[in-house]
Structure 1
């Protein structure tokens, strides 16, 4: 199995090598990068490229590692016992399989996405060490051990909001998705908007990279945001001339697609005020 760019996803040579190395080593691929650089979409495209089903586990601040294995619904069992339900005698009726169990129990190889692992508590990655390493876990309520029938391709994403434990990092193949250079970003745009005119694309990307380089910007616009911006430019049928800025209108057209904090908008307004002076 070899991953390569798809007709909907442009992967750099470095990223392609990282995915294939992780598959060969049978280790989780830990992908970091700015929000909006396509980390989550990578897992979907890897699944599509390899022809494998995808199981997605989206981590939240309240997510516990145990939920990825299974959850025992003791409350429902107690209620059923009070109602005299026959199913109460079988504990398996009250165990809900988590995403890892689903991946381990799949009839064939799957891609397992553990998305935004750094959102959870710092102990979350440590609590998954053995399960991801040995590809098995114990179900205490039934006494059984669940082992992976086929080792899944595991892709773990992180927005770099917090440091991950060293023991966890040792078990992963790591790749940092750098922000695309102009040529790569142009190719990405062409995938989504094949009919966009060269002049408009050149003017828009020049302005986009200028915005990203403004000193003091709190949140730099990402790949997903430039795609949203271009979609709006095309919907409004704007021309390269419409994108031109001067001291009075230093904010880009439809800037709400690119600038997502009031601090950044105020920054451009201050720059405009300084330019007028």
Structure 2
């Protein structure tokens, strides 16, 4: 049993080495990234191909359709995405900028859905991709209304620098979260990528817990990004109510934190 678990863990490691820009990888690249002998990688790849988690190409290997199929069966993000789609589409029509929906996974945000504006692409994110919470409007919107222990975890892990404008001082981040709790809107001012500005707002669930965030991203100036704040906030409130949130004082519960 222990050997079976070990094999499963190593097989999952092979899948995990694929990055956002990796359409396909060679067996040697997989083995090197996973830190395992090529012979071991070859054996595991054979099993993964048979299970359709990987597919062979003329020049290497790529992630298989079985993973895509299973990913769409994950209940919470899928339900959230289904409920959110009309609101995201309306927000896209209103702003004509890229619209994002994301949930928290560990200390990152994972993008569940995107409406990409051809005139304002966001090349460093994709559906299924992830970014640190502290440098994105989505992440800060979630972090502001999460238990204080999560912020401590984020700070303890280190505020990784994505651009010269990324917040790296915990005191600055804490102060910004206070402002976000007051206005219910968060901003990313070239903190995740130079040239991009983003405005986001949290989504609340039935018990008043923060469950996700929605945002608008574009190549516009900071002042233009702020111009989109009312539309983003309106979408977040409407979607939160559809998710079962009754409103009330929940977003103010952290005001004195």
* TM value normalised by structure 1: 0.27
Larger Rg: 1
Of structures 1 and 2, the one scoring higher in RCO (CA 8 A, sep 6+) is: 1
* TM value normalised by structure 2: 0.29
